[in-house]
A and B are shown apart, each in its own frame.
Chain A
Amino acid sequence: MPDSNSTSARVSLTTLPKVPTGIEGLDEITEGGLPKGRPTLVCGSAGCGKTLMGIEFLVRGIEQHNEPGVLLAFEETVEELAANVASLGFDLPQLQQDKMLRIDHIHVDRSEIEETGEYDLEGLFIRLGYAIDTIGAKRVVLDTIESLFSGFPNEAVLRSEIRRLFRWLKDKGVTTIITAERGEGSLTRQGLEEYVSDCVILLDNRVIDQITTRRLRIVKYRGSTHGTNEYPYIITAAGISVVPVTSLRLEHTVSNDIISTGVPGLDDMFTRRGLYRGTSTLITGTAGTAKTTLAVSFALEACRRGERCLFFAFEESPAQLIRNMLTVGIDLEPYVKQGLLFIEASRPTLNGLEQHLVTVHKLVKDKQPGTIVVDPISNLISVGSISEVGAMLTRLIDYLKVQGITALFTALISGRNATQEMTEEGVSSLVDTWIHVRDLEGVGERNRGISILKARGMAHSNQVREFLVTSEGVQLLDVIIGPSGIVTGASRLAQTIQEQAHAMAAQQEAERRDRELERKRRVLEASISNLRTEFESVEEELRRVTEEDQHRQQALTQSRQQIARDFVSYQPQNPSDSPLNP
């Protein structure tokens, strides 16, 4: 066959040219799309969405890359196909009218076909070639070419013709998807994988515990690296969505910002007074330990910061959540109305795991939240095995980290072996901060205690802090240390009362001492004044004596002077007598 418009041959020596499928997630796994100008085999059992994948490949090619496409349908008629995908928003009749899409239904019915001699499938080639050439198609889907085997008995001819067809499609330079039914022990019933050696995608549809999980795996991709895992995918209202890949490289950037947990006391338990932005936090606890309340506080705090927050509630409806939170003084309604808080509530069993994951991805993409809360992740175990949940959470956490979204998960755990349980799920190694709330069961009462099991990148308190859920939210109580360690609840009260009694006794003692002192002071003061009085009287006495002495002296002097005057001529008075005169 003459080569019409093959340009794929010389593009780059180093990398294989690829055609983006436009299917969500698939291009990430294939690192760019399907091999350009080559056939790709999509195989899977019934109900995997092979046909849908083919049609979406064509429709996205038309919508996103303006590449016309041809669908060769062996199983369904044009009308049936159009009706089947109309619900996904694919308007096949319109695309056909626009000359962007051609659908050719190939009717093969064994009862109407008789072999009468040698033949080939040139008719098929001509039809396909004609369809491709009339609209200049770049993409082709053959769905499902194996139907030919049911119509034509001569397998040898069919095999050589199919081999020739794939060669011919390659020469034509059209990127082709060939769908095929999964066979027993081989990828396809008719061993088509022998002929298509460039790229093989396997779709799988498993029912585990009554829940269907669809998975996609790239079996081979010649000339290109690709993701090798099994990736869950779902068929949504907008087509196929392959759950985006785990970021294997752990290269996400980190933030140094600190954000509050929404519980002031809890913030104080971290040396940096909060959590790093963009990290993931796990709150584990047994039933009724206020995990949801803590989670909601966290969400509310995010809203207060003006961030958008996505709240996945797997246990309560939004209305119930809002009502219940009002009783602890948390009013979510304004933030819901403001558009800052989105509550997405569903039962975990509603969907398979990957559906939940895709829902998260979709909402994250739509709402661009800064914070995500999942309450609780442990419920997901009901829809998948522990290893699956672990894998899903790995993907989810990685995805959120890459997006720089702060995440908080709660997990219900049973009993005491919290550490073990969480390790089994592998969550503990994924989260950066792990807060554990638990019952502190004492004699006749239960109290709630909160502790930090780990906090990457910052030191934290090692205490189990008792907390109360009050009408003003969660409040951490001060640590009280009793004779045998930290005490809680009634013991805390008893301890407090005892301490109060002690304090009162001590105060009374002090007062008593004060009074004693006062008394002593007064006694002393009294004796001091006695003494002073005594002293005064002594002083008085002394003064009186001195005065009397003076008077006597004076009188004596006067009388002497009198005598001297009387006998003046006799002898003058000695001045040494005068010291008594001042």
Chain B
Amino acid sequence: MESEQGPVPAPEYILHLYITGATPNSSRAVRNIKDICERYLTGRYELVIVDIYQQPEMAQQAQIVAAPTLVKKSPGLMRWLVGDLSDRRRVLTLLGLSPDPDDPHAHA
């Protein structure tokens, strides 16, 4: 897994999103996480998107059962966030972020 971000410093947020191709849920999840990262975590995150159709062995390694699943490796305890991440407030709470008043999704 190569980092998409710069080498230094180590990113605060390490997020792995496991998706299943271009299914509606997966597409939504990708859109949602990208939006969250750009809006809340600029410059302090590492996001890896794994298509388990392409890399099925990764599913076992990461203990993926449901799809899509966002695995939050840090900060804090590992958490599996299952679903398309469209419950923005919940996702933010789980990531330890407070909703941005300008975020249209946070008040949906």
A residues near B (Cβ < 8 Å) are: 104, 106-108, 112-124, 126-127, 129-131, 148, 151-152
Per-residue CB contact flags for chain B residues 28-62 toward chain A (1 = under 8 Å, else 0) read 11001000000000000000000011001101100
Q: Is the CB of B84 within 8 A of A130?
A: no
B residues near A131, Cβ cutoff 8 Å: 60
Q: How far is the CB of B55 from chain A (nearest CB, A)?
A: 9
A residues near B66, Cβ cutoff 8 Å: 113, 119-124, 152
Task: Please name 20 further chain A to chain B contacts, defined as beta carbons within 8 Å, in addition to the given A116-B85, A126-B53, A148-B65, sorted by A numbering.
Answer: A112-B80, A113-B80, A116-B81, A116-B90, A117-B25, A117-B83, A117-B87, A118-B84, A118-B86, A119-B69, A119-B82, A119-B83, A120-B66, A121-B67, A122-B20, A123-B18, A127-B59, A130-B57, A130-B59, A152-B66
Q: What are 14 A-B contacts defined by CB distance under 8 Å?
A: A112-B78, A112-B80, A114-B80, A115-B82, A116-B86, A116-B91, A117-B32, A119-B84, A120-B25, A121-B67, A123-B20, A123-B59, A123-B66, A126-B64
Q: Which of A116, A122, A126 has the most CB of B within 10 A?
A: A116
How many chain-B residues does the 8 Å CB contact rule pick out?
A: 35
Q: How far is the CB of A105 from chain B (nearest CB, A)?
A: 8
Q: Is the CB of B64 within 8 A of A127?
A: yes
Q: How far is the CB of A70 from chain B (nearest CB, A)?
A: 12
Partner of B67, one of A104, A115, A119, A148: A119
A residues near B94, Cβ cutoff 8 Å: 114, 116
B residues near A130, Cβ cutoff 8 Å: 56-57, 59-60
- Measured CB to CB, the nearest residue on chain A to B57 is A130
Q: Is the CB of A117 within 8 A of B80?
A: no
B residues near A123, Cβ cutoff 8 Å: 18, 20, 52, 59, 64-67, 69
In the A-B complex, the 4 residue pairs with the smallest Cβ-Cβ separation, listed nearest first, are A117-B83, A130-B56, A123-B64, A117-B84
Q: Which of A113, A129, A131, A151 has the most CB of B within 10 A?
A: A113
A residues near B70, Cβ cutoff 8 Å: 116
Asked whether any CB of chain A lies closer than 8 Å to the CB of B16, the reply is no
A residues near B60, Cβ cutoff 8 Å: 104, 127, 130-131
B residues near A126, Cβ cutoff 8 Å: 20, 52-53, 56, 59, 64, 67
Q: How far is the CB of B106 from chain A (nearest CB, A)?
A: 13
A residues near B68, Cβ cutoff 8 Å: 119
Q: Is the CB of A114 within 8 A of B81?
A: yes
A residues near B29, Cβ cutoff 8 Å: 117
A residues near B85, Cβ cutoff 8 Å: 116-117
- Measured CB to CB, the nearest residue on chain B to A130 is B56
Q: Is the CB of A112 within 8 A of B79?
A: yes
Q: How far is the CB of A413 from chain B (nearest CB, A)?
A: 62
Q: Is the CB of A117 within 8 A of B52?
A: no
Bound Cα distance A126, B51 (Å): 11
- Measured CB to CB, the nearest residue on chain A to B94 is A114
Q: Which of B20, B52, B82, B94 has the most CB of A within 10 A?
A: B82
A residues near B83, Cβ cutoff 8 Å: 115-119
Q: Is the CB of A106 within 8 A of B63?
A: yes
Q: How far is the CB of B82 from chain A (nearest CB, A)?
A: 5
Bound Cα distance A123, B18 (Å): 9
Bound Cα distance A148, B83 (Å): 15
Bound Cα distance A122, B69 (Å): 10
Bound Cα distance A118, B28 (Å): 10
Q: Which of A106, A119, A120, A121 has the most CB of B within 10 A?
A: A119
Q: How far is the CB of B40 from chain A (nearest CB, A)?
A: 15
Partner of A127, one of B25, B56, B77, B82: B56
Bound Cα distance A358, B67 (Å): 47
Bound Cα distance A129, B67 (Å): 15
A residues near B20, Cβ cutoff 8 Å: 122-123, 126
Partner of A119, one of B25, B56, B91: B25
A residues near B80, Cβ cutoff 8 Å: 112-114
A residues near B78, Cβ cutoff 8 Å: 112
Q: Is the CB of B79 within 8 A of A114?
A: yes
Bound Cα distance A16, B54 (Å): 37
Q: How far is the CB of B26 from chain A (nearest CB, A)?
A: 9
A residues near B81, Cβ cutoff 8 Å: 113-114, 116
Bound Cα distance A106, B66 (Å): 11
Bound Cα distance A120, B86 (Å): 14
Q: How far is the CB of A1 from chain B (nearest CB, A)?
A: 12
Bound Cα distance A180, B28 (Å): 34
Bound Cα distance A135, B108 (Å): 47
Bound Cα distance A121, B57 (Å): 16
Q: Is the CB of A117 within 8 A of B59?
A: no
Known interface pairs A126-B52, A126-B59, A127-B59. Does A117 touch B64 (Cβ–Cβ under 8 Å)?
no
Partner of A117, one of B28, B53, B77, B79: B28
A residues near B32, Cβ cutoff 8 Å: 117
Bound Cα distance A468, B5 (Å): 101
Q: Is the CB of B57 within 8 A of A151?
A: no
- Measured CB to CB, the nearest residue on chain A to B91 is A116
Known interface pairs A115-B83, A123-B18. Does A107 touch B28 (Cβ–Cβ under 8 Å)?
no
B residues near A122, Cβ cutoff 8 Å: 20, 23, 52, 66-67
- Measured CB to CB, the nearest residue on chain B to A113 is B80
